[in-house]
Structure 1
Amino acid sequence: MSVRAAGAVLWRASESGTELALVHRPRYDDWSFPKGKLDRGETMPFAAVREVAEETGWRCRLGPVLGDVHYEVPEGPKLVRYWSAQAVDGADGPGFSANDETDELRWVAPDKAGGLLSYRRDVDVLGRFVRRGVATSTLVLVRHARAGSRSQWDGDDGLRPLSGSGREQALQVSTLLGLFGPDRVLSAPPVRCRETVAPLAATLGVPVSGEPLLGEEGYWDDPDAGLARARELAAAPGVTVVCSQGGVIPDVVAALAAASPHRLGVDPDDVPARKASTWVLTFDGPDLRGADHYARPTG
């Protein structure tokens, strides 16, 4: 069984441009990106955020996945998954404090980072970050969590609420999506959609705004208008979360991916969208640069 770990290329904007955080580990006398093994029961995205905080002292907002790195360690094969992550603490934030794992942190320009990194595999991760670029906006599409049985519901289907397990999934979705630092939360009209993102909105202290064009009824009445609305939301600065339905999300993801000039690994004929799953779509201007699927509400 492989050793599983997660980390991030932590970046911030400065007057001189983008800077990346590199940490020195005294145990190995090396320079690398912050990373570490998963705790028991922990999933990759949560481990990445935790390791960034522990090794750099900075909170972060996850961005696109940069991929996996594989190599051998004494315990066996090791897999490390990396994200691009924006530092969100300002100059008055906690910042770095030397500890047993990392005794120095340096903020360096991307074109200087390769000369400081100790391992070729980290230089490869740096290259992925540089090619991907810094996201200007992010659209997060989450399908509603489990709802009560349709066959046992006598009322308007749009009023069918989440089941008990669905409410638990909604709490998990809230925790997962919090890692991406959402700025706004929207929902398709069905109650089950609104209930799925209500815990997230409550945590953020923002309202859940209605978005009828991205519900199944409104979307398929006028797909062009629905896609135009999705593109409009995708262009909004920061991170926008939309809770929608299984009949909408695959079409939106496929259309946005097809319009991108970049290879994203999205099969337009097979876009998964199980209940309580999430697509994180990252953009550089109008171009979709990343499409990451989180099949489970726990990440």
Structure 2
Amino acid sequence: MIKAAGAVLWRDAGGDVEVAVVHRQRYDDWSLPKGKLDDGETIPACAVREILEETGYSCVLGRHLRQVSYQVRGVPKTVDYYAAEAVSGSFEENDEVDSLKWLPVAEASSLLTYEPDREVLEEFARLPADLLLVLLVRHAKAGKRSEWDGDDDLRPLSGAGWRQAEALRTLLPLWAPVRVHTAPRVRCADTVRGVAADLSVEVVEEARLSEEGYWPDPDAGLVRLLEVAALEGRAVVSSQGGVIPSVVQSLAEMGGLRLDKIPCKKGSTWVLAFTRPFGAWSTSDSPSRWPTLVSAHYLPSALPRP
């Protein structure tokens, strides 16, 4: 299996969205930027690296768009595509790409050589480019409850859990979160404490998103998560396995989004994308003006696959 990743790289052009298409001299085609995973690399990290190498632009990831599958000389290959906003840089001709064009979506679609690329671009255009994001993380592995004599709130991460937390420190910044929130558990906080340190922000405790705080009033927990999304734009929230599936399922039902399964492994992340409310927003507004979940993508691990 060959694994690759790429993105629809976009920018704001005076209120309109333009996307980048690249010409590869080796194949004489116009395509979306993409490339194969390096050893020890995650799929999201590959997408960001390939964008930089092929286009010269640093980017911030958005929602996952789709996975494309095909055969290369009899070997199966998958390419995961993300939306990605260009934040800095400029194009220079390189070994893989000799030309880049910024175009409105319709013009870019007409130029692309391959139908799967056009389908990826169509999925990108289905929703606004600039969405709210919550990176909903289940805490990393902790020592066994049966082997811990103290208060369970204080049960620490295991060695494997610390490795997962360190990997999240590399993975989550690819979406450029600005704040870090956590259920009031040592294992939840320690899972994302390194991310907060790198952002130079405090870890904000969220009692409504712990198991004992969520279940007496699930609606209040959902409202709190939507508030974090709406008021901060991009945020990390670390919670527990007894909360996350209910939160994701409830938000999906509210948004009319169908999810067949809602896995929740320790150290995993749900990348949740929401529509932005128009104008100023508060929880006292009508629910019709609240952020709506429009995309939910599951990352089972922050660690690269062997």
Q: Normalized against structure 1, the TM-score is what?
A: 0.92
8 A contact 2:68–2:80 mirrored in 1: yes
**Residue 14 (structure 1) aligned with residue 13 (structure 2):** yes
**Structure 2 Cα separation of the partners of residues 128 and 35 of structure 1:** 17
Match of 2:301 in 1: 296
Report the alpha carbon displacement of residue 54 of structure 1 after superposing the two structures with TM. Answer: 0.5
Report the alpha carbon displacement of residue 234 of structure 1 after superposing the two structures with TM. Answer: 2.5
* Aligned partner of 1:287 among 270, 292, 306: 292
SS of residue matched to 1:235: helix
Report the alpha carbon displacement of residue 33 of structure 1 after superposing the two structures with TM. Answer: 0.8
Q: Which amino acid aligns with 2:302?
A: P
Q: CA RMSD in A?
A: 1.6
SS of residue matched to 2:3: strand
Match of 2:84 in 1: 85
Task: Say if 1:237 and 1:30 are closer, same or farther in 2 by CA, change over 3 A.
Answer: farther
Q: Can you list the C-alpha shifts for 1:201-228, whole angstroms capped at 9, x where unaligned? A: 1122221111111111211232221111
**Structure 2 Cα separation of the partners of residues 161 and 250 of structure 1:** 23
**Residue 5 (structure 1) aligned with residue 10 (structure 2):** no
Q: Can you list the C-alpha shifts for 1:122-170, whole angstroms capped at 9, x where unaligned? A: 1111111111332420111101111122222222111111112111110
Match of 1:244 in 2: 239
SS of residue matched to 2:181: strand
SS of residue matched to 1:221: coil
Match of 1:69 in 2: 68
**Structure 2 Cα separation of the partners of residues 298 and 48 of structure 1:** 15
8 A contact 1:57–1:95 mirrored in 2: yes
Match of 2:193 in 1: 198
8 A contact 1:3–1:75 mirrored in 2: no
Q: Can you list the C-alpha shifts for 1:186-245, whole angstroms capped at 9, x where unaligned? A: 111001111000111112222111111111121123222111111212223521110001
**Structure 1 Cα separation of the partners of residues 8 and 66 of structure 2:** 11
Q: Can you list the C-alpha shifts for 1:236-265, whole angstroms capped at 9, x where unaligned? A: 35211100011111111010000013x44x
Q: Which amino acid aligns with 1:119?
A: Y
Moved more, 150-159 or 272-281: 150-159
**Structure 2 Cα separation of the partners of residues 284 and 16 of structure 1:** 17
Match of 2:263 in 1: 272
Match of 1:133 in 2: 128
8 A contact 1:277–1:296 mirrored in 2: yes
**Residue 115 (structure 1) aligned with residue 110 (structure 2):** yes
Q: Normalized against structure 2, the TM-score is what?
A: 0.90
Report the alpha carbon displacement of residue 279 of structure 1 after superposing the two structures with TM. Answer: 0.5
Moved runs in structure 1, 4+ residues, more than 4 A? none
* Aligned partner of 1:210 among 201, 205, 218: 205
Give the gaps of 5 or more residues in structure 2: 277-290
Report the alpha carbon displacement of residue 75 of structure 1 after superposing the two structures with TM. Answer: 5.7
Q: Can you list the C-alpha shifts for 1:58-104, whole angstroms capped at 9, x where unaligned? A: 11111111112223333633321111111122xxxx32121111112
Task: Say if 1:31 and 1:18 are closer, same or farther in 2 by CA, change over 3 A.
Answer: same
SS of residue matched to 1:114: helix
Task: Say if 1:77 and 1:165 are closer, same or farther in 2 by CA, change over 3 A.
Answer: closer
**Structure 2 Cα separation of the partners of residues 87 and 66 of structure 1:** 16
Report how many residues are paired: 290
8 A contact 2:143–2:157 mirrored in 1: yes
SS of residue matched to 1:279: strand
Report the alpha carbon displacement of residue 30 of structure 1 after superposing the two structures with TM. Answer: 1.4
